[in-house]
Amino acid sequence: MITLSDIPARSQMPLTLPMGIFVVVMATAPFWLARVGLYQYLGVEIAIWVLFAMGFNLLFGYTGLHSFGHGAYLGIGAYAFGLFQHHAAISLWGGLFAAIAAASVAGAVVGAFLSHRRGIYYALLTIGFGQVFWFSAMKLHWLTGGEDGLLNIPRPDLVIGPWRFDLNDNAVFYWFVAAITIAAVLLMWRVVNAPVGRVLQAIRQNETRARFVGYDVWRWKWLAFTISAAFAGLAGGLFSMAQQSAYPDVMSLHQSGIIVMMVLVGGGLVSFWGPVLGVVLYFVARDVLGGLTEAWLLWYGLLFVIMVMVRPEGMAGLLHVLLRRTSGQVSTVKPEKA
């Protein structure tokens, strides 16, 4: 089976073909979304979830640390953005900064408890902490508005020099979100190919060996968790702008499970781009299947089960095999020994 470490180990190119496709598709979406029967807001959702999923995969796929409570950090980002607008100032950058900061702090604190653990204990603790945050969001009525959440979160104008953009315009808002997502994804691409990313992958492959060549594994695991929480927080800030509200549901175990499914179905374990495919498939399935049947999530779940059974490398792995076959290229990866 191919793995993440196959992804262009020797490539020194800052830009690759998938990167080009990603940027072009993201940048042009408002022009063709409606023509293929979709709508503007779907683009916003996809862009936000791509950001969330890619940041999550730094932890899940690259470092091999299985968090099942990551929705919490998205939620914390969303609340932080909203609270900042309501209590501090109406400020776009202030709100996004607050979202990143709050999620990072929460991630750093939780990460400190998690990073001694591995395997199932790690996963269980992430669920536990996720539930604590979700429960707090439900119960701290004075802060979070309880089950109803924070309402009427404004979308402050984007001001760049002399220009002022009204983000209440959905197309403008989309481009804003897409620009942030593209920038974050470019940054993550650099990070995973830099020594930082290599060390994280080394820890996934063999924690003990990493320790014995001199890496403080605890600190690296903590760092991976904190960084992925920070990206989740940014995604959460954008999400609260998109929804103009923040509510506990995104922090639920169920939502945290969906991000895991997206990443796995897309092929986050074998490809940097896997989460993007997974997110797109999820939302398109939701809208297309969802238009046909109320039980679309059942079909999606079934797809997930089948995928895990027959193609654990997900869509990215499937694509990898198909491309190789059609281009008639000789396989450089030896077939898996049984």
Residues that bind another protein (CB under 8 A): 3-6, 9-10, 12, 190-191, 193-199, 201-202, 205-206, 208-217, 334
> In this structure, which amino acid lies at residue 14?
P
**Residue 181, token pair as written in the block:** 């997502």
Q: How far apart are CA 34 and CA 45, in angstroms?
A: 15
- Shortest CB 137 distance to another protein, Å: 32
To which residue do tokens 């797809």 refer? Answer: 303
Kindly tell me which of 298 and 333 has the beta carbon lying closer to another protein: 333
Kindly tell me which of 213 and 309 has the beta carbon lying closer to another protein: 213
Kindly tell me which of 7 and 261 has the beta carbon lying closer to another protein: 7
- Shortest CB 11 distance to another protein, Å: 8
β-bridge mates for residue 164, sequence order:
159
> In this structure, which amino acid lies at residue 221?
K
Torsions phi, psi for 323 (to 5 deg): -60, -45
Side-chain half-sphere of 91: how many Cα atoms within 13 Å? 12
Kindly tell me which of 191 and 297 has the beta carbon lying closer to another protein: 191
Q: Which residue, 106, 124, 5, is CA-closest to 65? A: 124
- Shortest CB 217 distance to another protein, Å: 7
Kindly tell me which of 17 and 292 has the beta carbon lying closer to another protein: 17
Kindly tell me which of 27 and 187 has the beta carbon lying closer to another protein: 187
Q: How far apart are CA 279 and CA 282, in angstroms?
A: 5
Q: How far apart are CA 229 and CA 101, in angstroms?
A: 10
- Shortest CB 197 distance to another protein, Å: 8
CB-based contact 264:308 (threshold 8 Å): yes
Which helix (H) or strand (E) segment is 1 a member of?
none
**Residue 204, token pair as written in the block:** 């996934």
- Shortest CB 218 distance to another protein, Å: 9
